[in-house]
Amino acid sequence: MAGFQQKTIGEILTFQRGFDITKKEQTPGVVPIVSSSGISSFHSQFKVKAPGVVIGRKGTLGTVHYIKQDFWPHDTTLWVKDFKGNDPRFISYFLKTLHLENFDTGSSNPTLNRNHLHKIKIIFPGLKIQQKIAAILSAYDDLIENNKRRIALLEKMAEEIYREWFVRFRFPGWENAEFEKGIPVGWEVVRFRDVVKYYIGGGWGEEEESPNYPVGAHVIRGTDIPALNAGDYSNKVHRFHKESNYKSRKLQKNDFVFEVSGGSTNQLLGRNIMISDGLLELFKGEVLCASFCKLIRFDDEKISPFFMKYYFNLYYDCDLVGIYQVQSTGISNYQFESFLNYQTLAVPDKTTSLHFEKIVTPIIKQQEYLALENLMLTKTKEQLLPRLISGKLSVEDLDIQFPPSMQANNTEPEVA
């Protein structure tokens, strides 16, 4: 193929092992610490100047992360110390096509050895072709990132409305409202027990269909919740279940998946997501909450699920569930019962609840639309990626306008 040559990975880049740092050693800041699964925390100091490419070395092998800001690559990763004059953005796309997780050299723990990776033979294009391919693929990524920002802005808008109405009590007509014991007359302080209609623990299921596990369905894990709430619908996990498990745990519109386990005493519990029309459409109505979570269904005659969505969002940061936690792995069923029996909330009157629902419903629908658009963009990019990288889809004669994100690139990150 014109413009492509056979090389080794070591001829196009140099991998370097990341730098160890403990939680105790981290100080507050905005520098991302990049672990094998992505950005895991933030620190006040960086080790490498952007742009950078990081891959998973231990744990989650072969994952590829393109980093646009100065960063700290964790010891569980390999980072590109020298791009050898190649385009960093293209390198990140190229590495994704190599399935580096298949080059595991660990005897017991999955591990990638940079010296072994450097010897892998590849077919690699010249710089001009690299830049054109990167321009095409990064245009998709830029659209996806822009949609994610819009989703986040919409979420902040809805959360601010919630705070204004239900925390500051500046809801429509508040000027004429009467208050008693700190809440508007007509509102009611209730226990969670009083408004929860149904709840059950999650089910994980099996990878393969069998006589005992005949029903296929997707599962939502606690670790999936942040991505789904941010509009990333790309990672779906499918498992097979028993009939009884499926029937009792199948999610419906306005259900909540609520994480109660899998955390630690230093990690907030209570991550949650409200099941919307968009999610049910995505999962085709066949979705369960996984182990370490609970399915919670509220009595919509007593409380609006839209009110609960933003209630949970606000009080997750306050560790609403964690105050009932006495074990390192989460809260037990007994502790969850205590949460239901003793945690209280102020429920607004029906008119105010319906008014709030009417305002936030279009916001949620717009978020779903953008998330589904991102899913389509991601699928299209994934279909283009191997064809462009391999040269099957030639870009040599294309006149391509480079997007703003590619206007300036440093090809060799500095080490601090």
- Report if residue 126 sits inside a domain: no
Average pLDDT over residues 78-98: 96
pLDDT for 81 equals: 97
pLDDT at 414 exceeding the cut of 80:
no
Average pLDDT over residues 79-94: 97
Chain center to CA of 290: 16
Confidence of residue 411 (pLDDT cuts 50, 70, 90): low
Instruction: Specify the higher pLDDT residue, 415 or 26.
Output: 26
318: domain CATH number? Answer: 3.90.220.20
pLDDT for 329 equals: 67
- Report if residue 125 sits inside a domain: no
Structural domain span for residue 283: 188-347
- Report if residue 143 sits inside a domain: no
pLDDT for 405 equals: 62
Instruction: Note the pLDDT tens digit of each residue in 93-103.
Output: 999 999 998 88
- Report if residue 400 sits inside a domain: no
- Report if residue 330 sits inside a domain: yes
Quote the percentage of the chain above a pLDDT of 90: 65
Confidence of residue 264 (pLDDT cuts 50, 70, 90): very low
Lowest-pLDDT range of 8-22, 42-56, 83-97, 327-341:
327-341
Q: What's the structural domain count of the chain?
A: 1
For residue 282, report the phi and psi dihedrals to the nearest 5 degrees. Answer: -65, -45
- Report if residue 96 sits inside a domain: no
Lowest-pLDDT range of 71-75, 318-322, 330-334:
318-322
pLDDT at 415 exceeding the cut of 90:
no
pLDDT for 265 equals: 44
pLDDT at 416 exceeding the cut of 90:
no
Confidence of residue 160 (pLDDT cuts 50, 70, 90): very high
- Report if residue 296 sits inside a domain: yes
Instruction: Note the pLDDT tens digit of each residue in 165-221.
Output: 999 999 999 999 999 989 999 999 999 999 999 999 988 889 999 999 999 999 998
Instruction: Note the pLDDT tens digit of each residue in 112-156.
Output: 999 999 999 999 999 999 999 999 999 999 999 999 999 999 999
Please state, in angstroms and rounded to a whole number, the distance separating the CA atoms of residues 104 and 193.
Answer: 49
pLDDT at 162 exceeding the cut of 90:
yes
Closest by alpha carbon to 382, among 91, 100, 96?
Answer: 96
Place of tokens 């610490």: 33
pLDDT at 24 exceeding the cut of 60:
yes
CA angle at 224 for the pair 246 and 242, rounded to the nearest 5°:
15
Average pLDDT over residues 56-77: 92
Average pLDDT over residues 323-346: 82
Q: At 302, list the tokens.
A: 């007593």
Place of tokens 């705070």: 163
- Report if residue 63 sits inside a domain: no
**Mean pLDDT over all residues of the chain?**
89
